Amino acid sequence: MRAVEWIDDRLRMIDQRQIPFALETVNYEDYVEVARAITDMVVRGAPAIGVSAAYGMALATRQSAATDVPALLADLDTAAGVMKAARPTAVNLAWAVDHVMDVARSAAFTTPDEIRAALLDEAHRMAEDDVRTNKQIGEYGAVLIKDGDTILHHCNTGFLATVDYGTALGIIRTAHEQGKHIHVLLDETRPRLQGARLSAWECEQLGIPYDIIPDTAAGFYMRRGEVNVVMFGADRVAANGDVVNKIGSYQIAVLGHENGIPVYSAMPISTVDLTMPDGDAIPIEERDPGEVRAPYGCDIVPAHFHARNPAFDITPHRYLSGIVTECGIVLPPFTENLRKTVESKT
């Protein structure tokens, strides 16, 4: 089962809000509902969000009653705005929407039905590309993991965060499948606990040894010499190599650097945004403070207590040992080497 899949003319997603206690799926036929699912984190993870958005745009073509190309493109412009607003930080979402809009605007299409077919085909292609890309990331990144290593991993970057296989957790999966004896320390990743809930569930399925640790315990294990490498994903990477990722990534990168531990971020090249000169130029999503006060509806403080809830933080490139992509491991200087890598891909 894939995290995101087209089944019986509908988009099916694993409902990640239910894991690890239940494995449930939700079906969508309305692009507005797909956008809401992205906002509500039924689906999450930059690659999975991007492919979901592409399928959402394919649904939008089917919902449109347009009988000519200009009218359909107008309806798609509306859908694109709704989809992009679902989560502003992860660049894969906007990238995917812009990409399918470019396909829709192709001069090769003369009827709305041709566009409808083309957008669905493109969404299928993007889904298959995501799986291939993730496996390539895993192959490149696994060389960074030695037999006997303990890896500190943040958030969830496995098959649930992608169409299938995963990025940073996909690297760990590849190392495990190669027969390396490894152990993973999983940050809880508060407030939504993607590490404790999702990454631990994936490790259970794959038979990868792991321990969940409090977010605040990362430095404790690093200082004791119990961490050999730090790995996390990315939701957007600036031209200079600054990485915007799930909140908490910055602090473990700083701690890793301070303790002489290599720190790697893993993502597809589509996550690199060369239009952003550095991380400070990237918008950071602020989510409902209620997620902090009452994660998953469980009250831990009174509802009137003040809280703030940034979804992402910025890891300056100086704390990264490298960036793992499907094109290989990008090393410093990132400003030069990231651009070369992106241009070689395109």
| Residue listed under structure tokens 């001069």 | 107
Antiparallel, parallel or unpaired: β 243-246 and 150-153: unpaired
Mean pLDDT taken over the chain: 96
- Helices 31-39 and 46-63 pack at an angle, to 10 degrees, of 160
Q: Where are the alpha helices (DSSP H) in the chain?
A: 31-39, 46-63, 69-84, 91-104, 112-142, 168-177, 194, 200-206, 218-223, 249-258, 290-293, 334-345
User: What is the model's pLDDT at position 301?
Assistant: 97
Q: How far apart are CA 54 and CA 83, in angstroms?
A: 9
How far apart, in whole angstroms, are the C-alpha atoms of residue 291 and residue 300? 10
pLDDT average, residue stretch 227-248: 97
pLDDT over 70, % of the chain: 100
Tens digits of per-residue pLDDT, 22-44? Answer: 999 999 999 999 999 999 999 99
235 is catalytic: yes
Q: Has residue 264 got a pLDDT over 80?
A: yes
Mean pLDDT within 286-302: 95
Work out whether strand 210-213 and strand 183-187 pair parallel, antiparallel, or are unpaired.
Answer: parallel
Statement: residue 108 has pLDDT above 90 = no
Residue 106 has pLDDT above 90, yes or no: no
Range 17-21 average pLDDT: 96
Over the stretch 160-199, which tens digit does the pLDDT of each residue have? Answer: 999 999 999 999 999 999 999 999 999 999 999 999 999 9
Would you say residue 107 has pLDDT above 80?
no
Evaluate if residue 334 carries a pLDDT over 80: yes
Judge whether residue 346 has pLDDT over 80: no
| 91 pLDDT higher than 90 | no
What is the pairing mode between strands 4-7 and 10-14? Answer: antiparallel
> Residue 256: pLDDT band by 50, 70, 90 thresholds?
very high
Catalytic residue selected from 75, 235, 242, 273:
235
What does the alpha-carbon distance between residue 37 and residue 262 come to, in Å, rounded to a whole number?
35
Q: Which pLDDT score is estimated for 176?
A: 98
| Average pLDDT value for residue range 55-82 | 96
The pLDDT value recorded for residue 59 is: 98
pLDDT at residue number 90: 78
Burial class (CB in 10 A: 0-12, 13-18, 19+), 302: exposed
